[in-house]
Structure 1
Amino acid sequence: MMTNPLARLAIAPLLALCLCIQAAVPASAEDRLCFRGVNLSGAEYGEADGKVGTNYFYPTPTTMAYFAEKGFDTIRLPFKWERLQPTLGGDLDALELERLTISVRSLRDRGFRVILNPHNFGYHGGRRIGSADLPAALFANFWIRLAVHFTDDRDVIFGLMNEPYDIGARDWLDAANAAILGIRRVKAENLILVPGTHWSGAASWGDDYGQGANSEVIKDVIDPGNNFAIEFHQYLDADSSGTHAECSNRDGAEQAIVNATAWLRANKFRGMIGEIGVSSAPDCTAALSRIVEHLRANSDAWLGLTYWAAGDWWPPTEALNIQPNGTGDKPQLTALVSSMGPHLPGAPGCGRD
């Protein structure tokens, strides 16, 4: 979830009505999203030495079963890098790796694809990726150590990093490319999701915050396995942060997704929405439905989405939360289920071909 709204104020200007998502061609019966997902948040929280079940949580069987029954087929599973690899360049913590592996196995047993997501915003503790204390090689080292445990399951996806935000675009690209090369060197053919810097925001994709804009720099991503997608995040509140219940920037957010679609096609890339979320207000859920329908109508460019958020950590008062609480399905979940379309198992182009 985006946590520093003032640092990334990026509201896309409203363009001509003909460019808006409302004018997109409706999804046909043939349009399907490969990934119809949700973030099951909880394992990324707490201090690195926190106690599982008290300070941080992996998804429970009840939560897994709920979202499987609702027709979701993908889980983005955030976790804390420092907890899994306490010492940069060192071994993965055996107990934490076991917890992560058990969670992945349980999700896979229920038919979910799983996106592994170090939810660290480009940091390990106080060290920033691309700095002298955390060079690209150490980021690659982490992914090499993790990837080898999941090379036999192509339905485990590697989401390189959640929302790197204060690293220059070219420094981030160097780190991402190093991690991708390391993953491929250990014979892992899994789909890799490559975010941009500056919170991965679709609305700010063309803005230069240092060393070039994502829209130009990410074109130089290198994957010897040629099995990657570009990860975008987009929220609908005024500052695109996802920290407010209002969705006053819904038109700007919709336009940002339209622009991202054009960019993906122009560069022959595939895209994935790693985070998007709204409150239960009717104008917000309607905008969410329009965005999802746009993804379906343009499924040549988009693999799908994972909604933010659910998970046993979240209280019922969290506005964007779709975790069940005994009062029935949340309106956001209803909007998602009705607009995502049916599950698409094993289709070409879904990251397992």
Structure 2
Amino acid sequence: MKHTLTLVATLLALHTPPTQATEPLPWRGISLSSAEWGEKLPFPGTYGKDYVYPSVASTAYYQAQGMNLMRIAFRWERLQPVLGGELDPTELGRLREFVDGTTARGLHVLLDPHNYAAYKDVHIGKPEVPFAAFADFWRRLALVFKDNPRVQFGLVNEPRNMPTETWAQAAQAAIDAIRATGATNLITVPGNGYTGAWSWFESTWYGTPNAQVMGRVRDPLDHMVYEVHQYFDKDGSGTSTDCVSPEIGAERLRRFTAWLREHKRRALLGELGGGANAVCEQAVVGALKHLQANADVWTGWLWWAGGPTWGDYFLSLEPTADGRDKPQMRWLAPFLKQP
């Protein structure tokens, strides 16, 4: 009987939403993915077929759940077809329609050039894509959106395949260019090597660890946060429905949290997610509890992913065709502020 009662208690713990111990973090939201799609097709592709922007109306679902930050992915090359050239008015119009409409609803938007610190697969810092080109892109984008205080500037998605020192120099050039426009918007700065929180201290596969380099990046307004991503499957890629253990969520964040506190910096968990099963539920809940318990250095989190073209993708939070929530939305509810 004792074993039976223990088993029942365990099952109840797995399927009962966690209690909320503290106030939600300032930023709670989702990464909306679809406008960056089609990069493997003849570029730039056909709008409405190869890629599409989410609708402003689609954000109402997430806002009703208590989310307040939408991260919108797009492609640098579509927005600026020629390095150093003007932003494409048609593509900019699509981005502005989403941003202006969404922020008018009272939501915040995090701009996400989803490019892995490259332009047409050539990484920033190469002769073909100098630091000045990246700075020019952000100067132009900042000029468009600087007067909207609900817009945040995410420098780029998941830098990779480059020296960490090179990425840090590129990030600094972009920050300086943004601030030179007079923009005071929040800037989010990723690290190298896919900006994994758990790999912030790695020294083998992506070069000098972020922990040794990224602390040098400075914002003259001190209005920046680091953006890290974290998944809980075996290789941390977010491609498996299985999570390593119920405890892995907090485990993979602790060392980075300590680094933030030591360096007096703050961060946003820009991507997290897990498959719809009990182990991943505990891992995700553990991660979010860790963020809340360390609210002095963590500003918030974004689930990966949402958007109109995911279908049955196991991490999509888009509601089903008949309006039902995905299972993972229940996990997030205690960490959201209900309107």
Q: TM-score, normalised by structure 2?
A: 0.89
For the Cα contact (< 8 Å) 1:33–1:343, is it kept in 2?
Answer: no
2:269 maps to 1:295: no
- Equivalent residue of 2:273, what SS? coil
Q: Which residue of 2 aligns with 1:188?
A: 183
Question: Could you list the runs of 5+ residues in structure 2 that have no partner in the other structure?
Answer: 1-18
Moved more, 154-163 or 205-214: 205-214
Stretch of structure 1 that moved more, 164-173 or 247-256: 247-256
The code of the aligned residue for 1:41 comes to: S
Letter of the 2:50 partner, please give it: N
* Amino acid corresponding to residue 224 of structure 2 in structure 1: F
**Structure 2 CA distance for aligned equivalents of residues 264 and 36 of structure 1:** 20
Q: Tell me whether 56-65 or 234-243 shows the greater mean CA deviation.
A: 56-65
Q: Does 1:115 align with 2:110?
A: yes
Q: 1:336 to 1:142 in 2, by over 3 A?
A: same
Q: Describe the SS at the equivalent of 1:303.
A: strand
CA distances 1:160-218 after superposition (whole Å, capped 9, x unpaired): 01001111111000000000000000001100000000000011100124552101101
Secondary structure of 2:144's aligned partner = coil
**Match of 1:40, as an amino acid?**
L
> Which residue of 246, 253, 263 maps to 1:267?
263
Looking at CA atoms only, which structure, 1 or 2, has the larger radius of gyration? Answer: 2
Residues in 2 aligned to 1:283 and 1:256: alpha-carbon distance in whole angstroms: 15
Residue 40 (structure 1) aligns with = 32
Which amino acid is the alignment partner of residue 277 of structure 1?
A: G
- 3-state SS of paired residue (2:231): coil
Paired residue type of 2:306: A
Which residue does the alignment assign to 2:280? 284
> Are 1:141 and 2:136 counterparts?
yes
Q: Cα deviations across residues 127-183 of structure 1 (Å, max 9, x unaligned)?
A: 111111111111111000101111111220000010011111110000000000000
Amino acid at match of 2:37: Y
- Partner residue of 1:304? 300
Q: CA deviation at 1:32?
A: 3.1
One-letter amino acid of the counterpart of residue 38, structure 1: I
CA-to-partner distance for each residue in 1:210-236, whole Å, 9 max, x for gaps? 552101101101211110001110011
Q: How many residues align?
A: 316
Q: 1:223 aligns with which of 213, 219, 231?
A: 219
Assess if the C-alpha contact under 8 Å between 1:194 and 1:229 holds in 2. Answer: yes
Give the Cα separation in 2 of the matches to 1:249 and 1:207: 21
Change (3 A) 1:61 1:148: closer
Counterpart for residue 79 of structure 1: 74
Change (3 A) 1:43 1:67: same
Give 1:39's aligned amino acid: S
Measured in 1, the distance between the counterparts of 2:246 and 2:104 equals 37
Q: Contact between 1:113 and 1:157, CA under 8 Å: does it hold in 2?
A: yes
Amino acid paired to 2:73: P
Deviation at 1:253, TM superposition (A): 4.3
For 1:250 and 1:183, the matched residues in 2 are separated by: 41
Q: How does 1:195-234 map to 2 (within 5 A)?
A: 195-208=190-203, 209=205, 211-234=207-230
What CA RMSD, in Å, does the superposition of the two structures yield over aligned residues? Answer: 1.6
Query: Aligned partner of 1:282: which letter?
Result: A
Evaluate the alpha carbon distance shift between residue 69 and residue 252 of structure 1 in structure 2; reply closer, same or farther with a 3 A threshold: closer
C-alpha distance in structure 2 between counterparts of 1:285 and 1:110, whole Å: 30
Instruction: Using the TM superposition, name which of 130-139 and 301-310 deviates more.
Output: 130-139
1:307 alignment partner, SS class: strand
Unmatched 5+ stretches in structure 1: 1-25, 345-353
**Which digits, 9 at most, give the CA deviation of each residue in 1:314-340, with x for residues without a partner?**
112x111111112511111111122x1
Q: Contact conserved, 1:240 with 1:249, CA < 8 A, in 2? A: no
2:8 alignment counterpart: none
Shift of the alpha carbon at 1:256? 1.9
TM-score by length of 1: 0.86
The structure 1 segments of at least 4 consecutive aligned residues displaced by more than 6 Å after TM superposition are none
CA offset digits 1:81-131 (Å, max 9, x no partner): 110011111111011001100100111122211000000111111211111
**What SS is found at the alignment partner of 2:83?**
coil
Asked if 1 retains the 8 angstrom alpha-carbon contact of 2:245 and 2:280, the reply is no
| C-alpha contact 1:200 1:233 (8 A) present in aligned 2 | yes
How much has 1:254 moved relative to structure 2?
A: 2.4
